[in-house]
Amino acid sequence: MIYKILLTIWMNLIIAAVFLYVEPAVGFPGEVSRILFFHVPMAWVATLAFLLSMIASSVYLITRKVNADFLAQSSAELGFLFCFLATVTGSIFAKATWGSFWNWDPRQTSIVMLLMIYGAYFVLRSAVPDYEKRRVFAGVYSILAFCTVPFLIFVVPRITTSLHPEDTLNPANPGMDIKTLIFFLGSLCAYTGLFVWMLRLKVRMLRIMDREQRAFRSNF
Amino acid sequence: MHPTKSGRWITQTVSSTYLSEAVAIWLRDLRSEFRTRYAVNSILMFALTTLVAVSFSIGSFRIEESERPFLYAVLLWIILVFSALSGLSRSFVKEQESGTMDILKLSARPQAVFLGKLFFNLTMLGVLELIIVPAFILLMGYKIKFPGCFVAMMVTGGLGLGAGTTLVAAMIAQADARGALFSALSFPLLLPLIITAIKGSERAAYGISAAGWPEVKIAAAYAVIMITISLLLFPLIWEE
């Protein structure tokens, strides 16, 4: 409960500060550079969630502990949500700076690939009736899909050059001013905190559903 | 018949290797395919129908000469990939439908089963490419400057297609709604390969020389990685 309240206050502070306190970055028309504080943390959380899901799947395949699969499933679902939000916000930014919502920039290509892979992951989960088999298949598929990701990172950028801003809006670049950097990191923490809160809720929900189903089946 | 140390029953008294088991499964599948011709017919008819539709609506003169190498490569790979997706799942779905899955589990080691099915799928893809690619070149007037590179791209692309789909076929054979599921699950895994193969075929047709055929190497690397990972993961889904 206290975690929820602190998270709410923290997120509100960050949102207010990035609109009222931080100046927009140079080299971008109008206010569009403020997307940095929302779009990048979403993409970061999506990456974190998919990675966590892959690791939890591997743990499930080795130990066969059901909790690991609950974590894998919840993490994949939240990753999908944040990935979708990152796609939408990125697309709005693309319209504002490059002039079109969609132009198959390498970044857009790889994010759509991720959405397709995890879309297929959920389809596979819903199509296998047996619980144990479903968990194993989902784990196997997510590892298999993870192995194609290096090809996306190395192959797709060979084909076209990216318009995605890397220099002035990259936190690793010394060109970013200190005020922006502080609030960017604050926003990153806020989004990660939000993800952890949602993940715990989702895992608890799956655990309760599983218990109810077991109780229901044991009646017969 | 007698049990081995691990308690598994094998049908042969001579010690069989992974490769000999895989070849036995491959030959058995080829024989049963030769009797029914279900997979090969469905793949080839799908491919021919698509090819005729493309050729009829585009013809050999509609597209500008300078645009052809790229657009024809896209069309060719769309035909190949979707025909392959229409029939490659048969190799495992067949076992499930005829109820021979359990016997197969008892009579061969999982990796050997995977390799046998992979060989069978690669044979199907070989037949598909041998018929469709020359037909496409003839019907569309596709001029290729570097035939060697083009053939290498077709071979490695076919290898990648087989490698990326065989494990998915084994999974969907044990799931509901098999037909649609196979394409939905395979396509995201195949997309990097398809992009590479289109780029490689385009380059071969244009005659832009690149040192060492990079796309051919990428497709070969994709095939090797997918086969290795599948060999590691296959026992998990096979012995459920």
Query: Does pLDDT of B156 surpass 90?
Result: yes
Residue range B66-75, pLDDT digits in tens: 888 889 999 9
Does B1 reside within a domain? no
What's the pLDDT score for residue A175?
Answer: 59
Q: What are phi and psi of B17, to 5 degrees?
A: -95, 170
CB-CB neighbors (< 8 A) of A125 in chain B: none
Q: Are B184 and B203 in contact (CB under 8 A)?
A: no
Assigned domain for B223 exists: yes
Which one is predicted more confidently, B137 or A106?
B137
A156 touches chain B (CB under 8 A): yes
Measured CA to CA, the distance from residue A145 to residue B191 in angstroms comes to 11
Among the listed residues A187, A198, A118, A106, the one whose alpha carbon sits nearest the alpha carbon of residue A153: A106
B167 inside domain = yes
pLDDT-derived band at B4 (thresholds 50, 70, 90) equals low
CB A207 within 8 A of CB A70: yes
Mean pLDDT by 10 residues, chain A (220 residues): 89 88 74 84 90 93 92 94 93 86 81 88 89 91 85 63 58 66 89 94 93 85
Q: Phi first, then psi: what are they for B13, rounded to 5°?
A: -85, -30
Q: According to the model, what pLDDT value does residue B105 have?
A: 86
In tens, the pLDDT along B80-120 reads 999 999 888 888 888 888 888 888 888 888 899 999 999 99
Binned at pLDDT 50, 70 and 90, residue B159 comes out as very high
pLDDT (0 to 100) of residue A167 = 45
Determine, for residues A151 and B193 on separate chains, whether the beta-carbon distance falls below 8 Å: yes
Minimum Cα–Cα distance from B196: chain A residue: A155
Report the pLDDT value the prediction gives residue A168, as an integer from 0 to 100.
Answer: 46
pLDDT value for A106: 77
Mean of all residue pLDDT scores within chain B:
86
Q: What is the DSSP string of B129-165?
A: HHHHHHHHHHHHT---S-HHHHHHHHHHHHHHHHHHH
B218 contacts A151? CB cut-off 8 A = yes
Domain count, chain B: 1
Residue at B98 is within a domain: yes
Query: Maximum Cα–Cα distance for chain A, whole Å?
Result: 68
Cα–Cα distances (Å) from A138 to B97, B149, B162, B188, in that order, read 23, 38, 21, 15
Q: What is the 3-state secondary structure (H, E, C) of chain A?
A: CHHHHHHHHHHHHHHHHHHHCCCCCCCCCCCHHHHHHHHHHHHHHHHHHHHHHHHHHHHHHHHCCHHHHHHHHHHHHHHHHHHHHHHHHHHHHHHHHCCCCCCCCHHHHHHHHHHHHHHHHHHHHHHCCCHHHHHHHHHHHHHHHHCCHHHHHHHHHHHCCCCCCCCCCCCCCCCCCHHHHHHHHHHHHHHHHHHHHHHHHHHHHHHHHHHHHHHHHHCC
**Stretch 135-164 of chain B: residues touching chain A, C-beta under 8 Å:** 164
Q: Identify each DSSP E strand in chain B by its residue range.
A: 2-3, 9-10
Domain that holds residue B93: 16-238
CB proximity under 8 Å: B 212-231 to A: 214, 218, 222, 225-226, 229-230
Question: Region B201-227: what's the mean pLDDT?
Answer: 86
Q: In whole angstroms, what is the distance from residue B29 CA to residue A210 CA?
A: 41
Q: What percent of chain B has pLDDT over 90?
A: 45
The answer, for A153 touching chain B at a CB cutoff of 8 Å, is no
Cβ of A94 under 8 Å from any chain B Cβ?
Answer: no
* C-alpha–C-alpha distance, residues B160 and B226, integer Å: 8
Neighbours of B170 (CB within 10 A): 27
pLDDT interval class at B214 (50, 70, 90): confident
pLDDT band at B226 (very low <50, low <70, confident <90, very high): very high
Residue A209 to residue A212: CA distance in whole angstroms: 5
Partners of residue B191 in chain A, C-beta under 8 Å: 113, 116, 148
Range with the lowest mean pLDDT among A130-139, B13-22, B155-164?
B13-22
Q: ipTM score of the complex?
A: 0.83
Q: Is residue B77 part of a domain?
A: yes
**For B173-190, what is each residue's pLDDT tens digit?**
888 767 788 988 999 899
Instruction: Please indicate, yes or no, if residue B10 is contained in any of the structural domains.
Output: no
Q: Does A212 touch chain B (CB under 8 A)?
A: no
Q: Hey, are the CB atoms on A155 and B176 less than 8 Å from each other?
A: no
Query: Is residue B218 domain-resident?
Result: yes
* Residue B11 predicted with pLDDT over 70: no
Residue B201 has pLDDT above 60, yes or no: yes
B194 touches chain A (CB under 8 A): no
Measured between beta carbons, the chain B residues lying within 8 angstroms of A144 are: 167-168, 189, 226, 229-230, 233
Angle B10-B14-B19 (CA atoms, 0-180°, nearest 5)?
80
Residue B2 inside a domain? The answer is: no
Tell me the torsion sign for CA atoms B93, B96, B97, B100.
positive
